[in-house]
Structure formats: structure tokens, C-alpha cells
């Protein structure tokens, strides 16, 4: 069975002290995770080392960077490379989040470069894709997301994509309180898997964890995660509250 993942994206929130208290509280909710379940904390860069130490000895909980640069090294003040992340034993890297695409103009081509560098250094990408409200209203969300996937991932080999992680974000449902229905989530997750299967075959497509990332909360997580092609969630605001995120973790298949 492919990995079922509850990923917490803290974005630019919490002090170090607040974050450590949150992780400490949430670790109590991870004792009963089974072999196919994982929890990932995508924390601000300054906290990565501390949180990594807190997770020592836990085989089901991992740390993620929220981004990395598309160059190996050099005069890029303020950026963080995959090599640097590897040196502090980061596990995952979130790439292509809708906020990075919108505020920092990250293109599909740039994300392909970032993915290549992460794979080169043994980091696991969590590749984000998804459409804005006007694209959803026009009914062209499938072709839009398909293009994101093809331009950023289709240069990879089947071996590189086996067990990969993709997060589908309906941008219109992020921070708005709106949520795609479980049927809408299943429909586009299944479509994403079919796009992958068309190039790489069913075995590879069925190995890929596709997370839902749009206003996931305790009240809707079980229904959304229960869909056959939804393999957990990339969670924003609700991941900042211990009780909420603990309930989301318990909603994993």
C-alpha cells in the first residue's frame, strides 16, 4: 500500500519555542502509526535542525523544508540549497507551493530544476500542483494540472517517480474556508493518477502518494482521506493547532 501522509505546512508561523511545544504535543499522536502512515513537519528553515533532533528514533515522522533553490551553490544571498538541506539530514522538500508560484513567480521549468537537484542529493520532493478559482470555474482544471505535472515531472524516469509524493492544491480553497468536496477531490486525484499512468504505467502511478491540500481540518479529513485516490493531506492552518492536527493524523487510511 502506498504511503498515507499527514504533512504540516507551518508556512511563516510560530516562534521556535511555540513550534517545539507543538511538535512535542503532536508526537504523542504518532505512537500508533502503522507501516504505511507518515507525519511530515514542513517548518521554517531556522527550525529544521531542532525539529529533526526532536524526531530522532521515530520511524514514521519526518521533517521537510518548505523550499530550496534551483542552483547547487553560489552567490545567491538568502537562498538555501539542496546540498545544505542534505547536510542537516532533512527528509522532504515542499516544491511548487501555490504561494511560491504566485508570490515568487516560480515556473514549471524552475520546479523541474529544483526537483532534479533534490533527487540528486537524496531529498524527497513533495511536488505541489493545483488551479486558481477562474480555472476551476472555466472547467479547465484537469488540463491545467496535467500541464504542471508534464512540464515539471515528465523528464524523470519511472524509477525516480516510484513512491513520489504529489500534493494537489485547489488554490481557491486555501485559506478561504472553502473545501473541495470529497467527490471533487477524488475526481482530480484520480485524473492525476491517470496522467501519470499514461506515461509510466499503473505500477508507478499506484505507488505515488497524492495528498489533498485545501483547507483540510479535523471535521473533513476522514471523509476526504477516505477517497481511494487521496493519500492524506498537506495541511496549513489546522496544522498549527495540536488537537486539530492530531485528529487529522488519526484520519489517515
Instruction: Give the model's pLDDT for residue 175.
Output: 66
pLDDT surpassing 70 at residue 68: yes
Question: CA Rg, the chain, in Å?
Answer: 17
Number of H helices and E strands in the chain, helices first, is 12, 8
198 beta partners: none
Catalytically annotated residues? 97, 169
All structural domains of the chain, each given as residue ranges with its CATH number in brackets, are 4-250 (3.20.20.70)
DSSP structure class, residue 156: S
Cell reading at 143: 488540463
Q: Write the pLDDT tens digit of every residue in 213-253.
A: 988 999 999 999 999 999 999 999 999 999 999 999 999 99
First to last CA, the chain: 10
As a whole number, the mean pLDDT across the chain is 95
| Average pLDDT estimate for 91-113 | 97
Q: Could you read off the pLDDT of 7-55 as tens digits, one per residue?
A: 999 999 999 999 999 999 999 888 889 999 999 999 999 999 999 999 9
Which range (69-73, 88-92, 97-101, 131-135) has the least confidence? Answer: 131-135
Across 177-188, b (16+ Cβ under 10 Å) vs e yields: eebbebebbbbb
pLDDT confidence tier of residue 177, bands split at 50, 70 and 90: low
Per residue in 178-205, pLDDT (tens digit) is: 767 899 999 999 999 999 999 999 999 9
User: How far apart (Å, rounded) are the C-alpha atoms in residues 131 and 143?
Assistant: 10
Amino acid at each position: 500500500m502506498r504511503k498515507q501522509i499527514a504533512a504540516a505546512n507551518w508556512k511563516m508561523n510560530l516562534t521556535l519555542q511555540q513550534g517545539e511545544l507543538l511538535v512535542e504535543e503532536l508526537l504523542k499522536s504518532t505512537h500508533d502509526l502503522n507501516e504505511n502512515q507518515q507525519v511530515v513537519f514542513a517548518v521554517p528553515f531556522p527550525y529544521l535542525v531542532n525539529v529533526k533532533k526532536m524526531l530522532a528514533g521515530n520511524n514514521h515522522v519526518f521533517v521537510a523544508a518548505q523550499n530550496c533553490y534551483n542552483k547547487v551553490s553560489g552567490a545567491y544571498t538568502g537562498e538555501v540549497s539542496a546540498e545544505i538541506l542534505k547536510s542537516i539530514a532533512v527528509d522532504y522538500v515542499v516544491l511548487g507551493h501555490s504561494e511560491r508560484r504566485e508570490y515568487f513567480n516560480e515556473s514549471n521549468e524552475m520546479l523541474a530544476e529544483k526537483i532534479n537537484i533534490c533527487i540528486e542529493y537524496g531529498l524527497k520532493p513533495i511536488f505541489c500542483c493545483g488551479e486558481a478559482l477562474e480555472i476551476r470555474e472555466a472547467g479547465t482544471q484537469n488540463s491545467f494540472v496535467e500541464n504542471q505535472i508534464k512540464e515539471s515531472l515528465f523528464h524523470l524516469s519511472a524509477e525516480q517517480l516510484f513512491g513520489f509524493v504529489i500534493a494537489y492544491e485547489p488554490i481557491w480553497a486555501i485559506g478561504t474556508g472553502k473545501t473541495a468536496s470529497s467527490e471533487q477531490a477524488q475526481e482530480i486525484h484520480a485524473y492525476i493518477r491517470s496522467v501519470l499512468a499514461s506515461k509510466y504505467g499503473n505500477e508507478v502511478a499506484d505507488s505515488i502518494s497524492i495528498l489533498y491540500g485545501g483547507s483540510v481540518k479535523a471535521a473533513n479529513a476522514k471523509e476526504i482521506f477516505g477517497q481511494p485516490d487521496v493519500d492524506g493531506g498537506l495541511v496549513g492552518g489546522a496544522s498549527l493547532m495540536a488537537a486539530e492536527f492530531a485528529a487529522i493524523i488519526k484520519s489517515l487510511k
